[in-house]
Amino acid sequence: MRLCVVFFIGLWLPFMASAGSLPIPEQGPALRLQGSNTIGAALGPAVVRGLMEDQGLLRVSSEITGRDNEQRIVGQTVDGRRVVVDIAAHGSSTGFAALKQGNADLAASSRPIKDGELKELSSLGDLKSPSAEQVIAIDGLAIILHPQNPLRQLDTVQLARIFSGEVKTWEAVGGVGGPIHLYARDEQSGTYDTFKELVLGRQGKRLDPSTRRFESSEQLSDAVSQDPQGIGFIGLPYVRQAKALAIVDGDSQPMLPLNNLIATEDYPLSRRLFFYLPPQATNPWAEALVAFTQSDKGQAIVAANGFIAQTVQAMAVTPNALMPDGYQALSRHAQRLTVNFRFEEGSASLDNKAHQDLGRVLDYIKQHGKTDRRVTLVGFGDAKDDPARADLLSKLRAMAVRRELVKYGVALREVRGFGALMPVAANSEDEGRVRNRRVEVWVY
């Protein structure tokens, strides 16, 4: 745990070098970013422009390369030297392939690195280490319909049956409109990988081969919004003119892809967006882009591009009868922070994002004067045969977060565990159980 904390502190300080301090290569691009279209279409170019401007470069602009889903960001030093960053956005898997081939300095991905990719890239270092795997934003997969489709919600089982072709008409899921037309991202897409994992794979199903496939998120969304019988899935910033559905997973409540529900990763189809920085990388521009994206300036750019920034805020929660009494009381007197701490699969250890979030939560607590018994931690878990065991484990997870906060001088008001109550995902699969094992932070 100590090594992770040391990393976190190191992440935020050294890379925030003064403007103009990054070296300019004599030839070729300063940085090559490849991978996710979700990131590379707009967010990636935006944070690159932000970094360039932060470095004091002039006339920062985008150039069209003539190749689909590729662009070049260029700037100029005060003495007239040209600085170039190349961005190719053909899907998450292409970023890892480019790292392997030596054609990229940094991979953008809208899903976690796969075990096979991790093994293939082991010569570059451990890409699952805290310094390598960087969560840069939170996104939600929106299930989109034509804006005049009257359907309001679907559950993940229905979604799997629809996109596998088992359910062929809107009437079969309580809607109207006749035959269902399916739209999806292409095979290279992290968006598709995420949908396949969270929806299709959990039900043992495959995408209907008649589905229309798109490399471009914008084109997919626009096609659905023009088809009264259409349904598709897309990253949150690309809903555009379409209508987003509320989603149910297992015993969860119906949830729309709203900012607060995605920030806490409670929304069933929320996902993390990543930069993967090889530990043995020697390109200072890659390191600087990661650090800039994690900074307040970078997270403001994340929000401006329609994704969910990891900036911690307090939000009011309206109590309702479905909440346990103790949780209702908490929601009447305190506010919840827009972050959940989650754990590595099959472990009581905080995951990489949780280590990053520790610093953000500490900053919020100290800046708002909450260090002296003004913070309550609330743990949740997945269902167990013995409810008492679920209660105990949920409190132990909250205690794991408490230990980290206490190291930095935070005296907590209370630590509570609510066991398997208030699930945000189905407990039938590992992914759902991991999502249910969470710790919330409340402030008075």
Residues 112 and 209 in one domain: no
Supply the DSSP symbol for 395: H
Judge whether residue 50 has pLDDT over 80: yes
> From CA 375, how far away is CA 415, in angstroms rounded?
9
pLDDT band at 428 (very low <50, low <70, confident <90, very high): confident
Residues 355 and 382 in one domain: yes
Residue-level pLDDT at 190: 87
What is the number of alpha carbons within 13 Å of residue 111 lying toward its C-beta? 22
Residues 185 and 293 in one domain: no
Q: Which two tokens stand for residue 358?
A: 């520790």
Q: Is residue 437 part of a domain?
A: yes
Q: What is the mean pLDDT of residues 263-279?
A: 95
Q: Is residue 357 part of a domain?
A: yes
Between the alpha carbon of residue 301 and those of residues 43, 115, 137, 294, the distances in Å are: 8, 31, 10, 10
Kindly state the percentage of the chain with pLDDT values over 70. 95
Backbone phi and psi for residue 83, each to the nearest 5 degrees, phi listed first: -115, 130
At 102-140, the pLDDT tens digits run: 999 999 999 999 999 999 999 999 999 999 999 999 999
Partners of 108 in beta bridges = 35, 275
Q: What is the mean pLDDT of residues 260-286?
A: 94
At 285-333, the pLDDT tens digits run: 999 999 999 999 999 999 999 999 999 999 999 999 989 999 999 999 9
Residue-level pLDDT at 11: 32
Residues 132 and 8 in one domain: yes
Judge whether residue 1 has pLDDT over 80: no
Judge whether residue 347 has pLDDT over 70: no
Q: 17-31, 237-251, 347-361, 373-387: which range is least confident on average?
A: 17-31
Residue-level pLDDT at 94: 98
CATH number of the domain within which 259 lies:
3.40.190.10
Residues 122 and 164 in one domain: no
Residues 344 and 383 in one domain: yes
Q: Which of 341, 349, 408 is nearest to 378 (CA)?
A: 341
Judge whether residue 17 has pLDDT over 60: no
Domain final position from 231, 263, 295: 263
pLDDT band at 431 (very low <50, low <70, confident <90, very high): confident
Residue-level pLDDT at 384: 83
Residue-level pLDDT at 15: 34
pLDDT band at 404 (very low <50, low <70, confident <90, very high): very high
Strands (E), 119-158: 133-145, 153-155
CB atoms within 10 A of CB 74: 20
Q: Is residue 390 part of a domain?
A: yes
Q: What is the mean pLDDT of residues 208-226?
A: 97
Kindly state the percentage of the chain with pLDDT values over 90. 84
Residues 293 and 342 in one domain: no
Q: Which amino acid is at 330?
A: L
Judge whether residue 8 has pLDDT over 50: no
Q: Is residue 309 part of a domain?
A: no
Residues 372 and 404 in one domain: yes
pLDDT band at 7 (very low <50, low <70, confident <90, very high): very low
Residue that has been written with the tokens 């798109």 in this structure: 214
Residues 168 and 285 in one domain: no
**More confidently predicted of 18 and 233:** 233
Q: What is the phi-psi region of residue 48: left when phi exceeds 0, alpha when psi lies from -120 to 50, beta otherwise?
A: alpha
Residues 29 and 44 in one domain: yes
Q: 5-19, 59-73, 251-265, 389-403: which range is least confident on average?
A: 5-19
Backbone phi and psi for residue 277, each to the nearest 5 degrees, phi listed first: -110, 110
Q: Which of 250, 142, 265 is nearest to 203 (CA)?
A: 250
Helix ranges (H only) for 306-386 are: 325-333, 352-367
Residue 276 domain boundaries: 2-137+272-304
Q: Is residue 419 part of a domain?
A: yes
pLDDT band at 13 (very low <50, low <70, confident <90, very high): very low
Q: Which of 99, 90, 68 is nearest to 281 (CA)?
A: 99
Residue-level pLDDT at 5: 28
Looking at the structure of the chain, the number of domains it has is 3
Residue-level pLDDT at 338: 97
Looking at beta carbons, which pairs linking 118-124 to residues 24 or more positions away fall under 8 Å? 120/96, 121/96, 121/278, 124/99, 124/278, 124/279, 124/280, 124/281
Residue-level pLDDT at 2: 27
Residue-level pLDDT at 197: 84
> 265 Cβ partners below 8 Å, 6+ apart?
138, 272, 340, 342, 435, 438
> From CA 176, how far away is CA 170, in angstroms rounded?
5
Residues 47 and 98 in one domain: yes
> From CA 98, how far away is CA 95, in angstroms rounded?
5
> From CA 316, how far away is CA 414, in angstroms rounded?
19
Q: Which amino acid is at 3?
A: L
> 116 Cβ partners below 8 Å, 6+ apart?
none
Q: Kindly give the pairing relationship between strand 375-380 and strand 314-315.
A: unpaired
* Mean confidence (pLDDT) of the chain: 92
> From CA 212, how far away is CA 193, in angstroms rounded?
16
Judge whether residue 16 has pLDDT over 50: no
**More confidently predicted of 202 and 152:** 152
Q: Are 333 and 444 in contact (CB under 8 A)?
A: yes
Length of the chain (residues): 444
